[in-house]
A and B are shown apart, each in its own frame.
Chain A
Amino acid sequence: GAVVSQHPSWVICKSGTSVKIECRSLDFQATTMFWYRQFPKQSLMLMATSNEGSKATYEQGVEKDKFLINHASLTLSTLTVTSAHPEDSSFYICSARRAGAQQETQYFGPGTRLLVL
């Protein structure tokens, strides 16, 4: 159990367009999902915490109007990169924590590679 999927696995888009990335917990319910970004040869950086049925909490320096997060159900969170620019090109990874777990390991998705031309 504890499988997390992401879609798409990779996407190429033109500068100025918006891209939506989906994160799904396949075999468990997740009241909390997290979105991370990873640049080449660097570590993962937390962008935001997505809570089902409420507004996301963004880390310092992450623009909430640029990275729109929606967590409409217990198994799905979406990240929309609005008006994407080349500097938004990165590896976006989500993770999910089981519903009811105050502190339990996060299970990560396979990541989505975004390239903005």
Chain B
Amino acid sequence: GENVGLHLPTLSVQEGDNSIINCAYSNSASDYFIWYKQESGKGPQFIIDIRSNMDKRQGQRVTVLLNKTVKHLSLQIAATQPGDSAVYFCAENLNSGGGADGLTFGKGTHLIIQP
């Protein structure tokens, strides 16, 4: 779908606390999901991914949860640090079986870590 709107949702978290960023994806046929972090003026940076045959995947300080029933994806960041401040995007990919498809990005959430 089209991403419109001038204001990104904002999540403000105290340094050291855990944060949860949520994302609703649009295509029930999507089978691969990625979380990206984007700092101001830079390209997206890969954080973690998950395939549709899983419902949870853990990385270093990050965990992604996938609920296919309600088409919901979440990113949990443990013990947040000032460097975690950025805009976080979820992205979905449909494996069409033959071609390589681009990603469909969610609207993004601006995470602010307060000292």
Contacts and interface: CB of A to CB of B under 8 A. Distances in A.
Contact of A93 (B5, B6, B43, B93): B43
Instruction: Report which residue of B34, B42, B102, B103 has the largest number of chain A beta carbons within 10 angstroms of its beta carbon.
Output: B102
A15 to B, nearest CB: 24
Contacts of B89: 43-44
Interface in B12-61: 31-32, 34, 36, 41-46, 49
**What interface size band does chain B fall in?**
20 to 34
A113 B44 CA distance: 14
Given A44-B44, A93-B43, A111-B43, A106 B103 contact: yes
B43 A103 contact: no
Given A34-B102, A41-B6, A41-B7, A103 B46 contact: no
Contacts of B93: 103
Nearest to B95: A103
B41 A111 contact: yes
Interface residues of A, number: 29
Chain B residues touching A, majority SS: loop
A2 B14 CA distance: 33
B69 interface: no
Contacts of B3: 42-43, 45
Interface string A73-117: 000000000000000000001010100001101111111010000
B108 A43 contact: yes
B8 interface: yes
24 contacts: A4-B43, A34-B102, A34-B103, A42-B4, A42-B108, A43-B3, A43-B89, A45-B2, A46-B104, A49-B101, A93-B43, A93-B44, A95-B44, A97-B100, A102-B100, A103-B32, A105-B46, A106-B103, A108-B43, A108-B45, A108-B46, A109-B43, A110-B43, A111-B41
